Amino acid sequence: MQQAVNIIKVGGNIIDNEEKLASFLKDFSELKGLKVLIHGGGKVATEISKGLGIEAKMVDGRRITDNETLKIVTMVYAGLINKNLVAKLQALSCNAIGLTGADANIIPAHKRPVKEIDYGFVGDVEEGKMDGKILSTLLQAELTPILAPLTHDQQGNMLNTNADTIASTVAVSLSKNFKVNLIYCFEKDGVLDGEDKVIPAISKTYFAELKEQGIVVAGMIPKLDNAFAAIDKGVSSVYIMHADGLKDLINNDRNSGTKIS
């Protein structure tokens, strides 16, 4: 039987809230078995940019990343957030190691080509090029990788890369050798319907309807695109749920969020 790995993504609204983050990290640290944490931090980057007099520009959920913004996101994601998560997890006896997608070339990527929009230093992952060997080695050494949403362009530049996409890419690459569960944790109870009720399971057809009706919007669209891509490419299960539901899902197989079907 294949060994299981839980790939958990945590979004910026949890990271930005001290109490919610502490509770999430406690639950994450207590999860048994192999695990990887991918973090976002878009909200923190936006606040810090604002403090420095740079207004964040988002198009289709992606940050336009000019020279100055690249410096900020590199400092915030690879430095401030990643290293604080590592320190907090170490305090909880979880042997965390913090990395970006550029370290050991874990996540091959390229700069997003300029079409109608120039996103600047934004990375798109190279489809099917991530082999997962480095992460497998770290996992076998009983380390817990903590990945920041950054990649590189093979020419000396860091690239800002959507954290949901990184989570899906990591999950797909590890699914060749492990049974992978991918769990997107955020501040809402799951994917919500028109009456703000959690949708327990969502299909591609239902997703298309909700998008058309304007019920699934903004950041939830790329999140669901990434979730369906993971299922299509061999990931065993994908959930989108409140960070508080993580422990119950993994320990008791109880889903309080949305399962991708």
Ligand X SMILES: Nc1ncnc2c1ncn2[C@@H]1O[C@H](COP(=O)(O)OP(=O)(O)O)[C@@H](O)[C@H]1O
Ligand Y SMILES: CC(=O)N[C@@H](CCC(=O)OP(=O)(O)O)C(=O)O
Binding site for ligand Y (CB under 6 A): 11-12, 40-42, 45, 62-63, 73, 122, 149, 160-163
From the list ligand Y, ligand X, none, partner contacted by residue 149 (C-beta under 5 to 8 A by kind): ligand Y
Q: Are 3 and 34 in contact (CB under 8 A)?
A: yes
CB 173 within 8 A of CB 131: yes
Residue 100 Cβ vs ligand Y, minimum distance, rounded to whole Å: 11
CB of 136 closer than 8 Å to CB of 115: no
Compute the least distance from the CB of residue 43 to ligand Y, in Å: 6
- Residue 44 is which amino acid? V
Residue 93: strand, helix, or coil: coil
215 binds ligand X (CB under 6 A): yes
Asked if 134 touches ligand X (CB under 6 A), the answer is no
Q: Position 146: which residue type?
A: I
Q: How many helices (H) and strands (E) does the chain have?
A: 10, 14
Report, in angstroms and rounded to the nearest whole number, the Rg of the chain calculated over CA atoms.
17
Decide: helix, strand or coil at residue 182. Answer: strand
Residue nearest ligand Y, CB atom distance: 40
Cα separations (Å) of 163 from 12, 16, 169, 187? 10, 15, 10, 15
Q: Does 42 show up as a binding residue in the annotation?
A: yes
Q: End-to-end distance of the chain based on CA atoms, in angstroms?
A: 23
Which CB atom, from 104 or from 217, has the smaller least distance to ligand X?
Answer: 217
The answer to whether residue 188 forms part of the interface with ligand X (CB under 6 A) is yes
Interface pick for ligand X out of 150, 191, 241, 260 (rule CB under 6 A): 191
Nearer to ligand Y, 76 or 178 (CB): 76
Q: 3-class SS at 141?
A: coil
Residue 161 binding ligand X, by CB under 6 A: no
Give me the least distance between CB of 42 and ligand Y, in Å please: 3
Segment near ligand X (CB under 6 A); pick from 23-31, 137-145, 211-219, 227-235: 211-219
Query: According to the annotation, is 160 in a ligand binding site?
Result: yes
Amino acid at 249: L
List the x/- string, 30-49, binding to ligand X by CB under 6 A.
----------x---------
Residue 183 CB-half CA count within 13 A? 27
Query: How far apart (Å, rounded) are the C-alpha atoms in residues 124 and 61?
Result: 14
Binding partner of 218, given ligand X, ligand Y, none, CB within 5-8 angstroms per partner class:
ligand X
Binding footprint of ligand X on the chain (CB under 6 A): 11-13, 40, 186, 188, 191-192, 215-220, 223
Q: Indicate the annotated binding residues for substrate.
A: 41-42, 63, 160
Q: Indicate the annotated binding residues.
A: 41-42, 63, 160
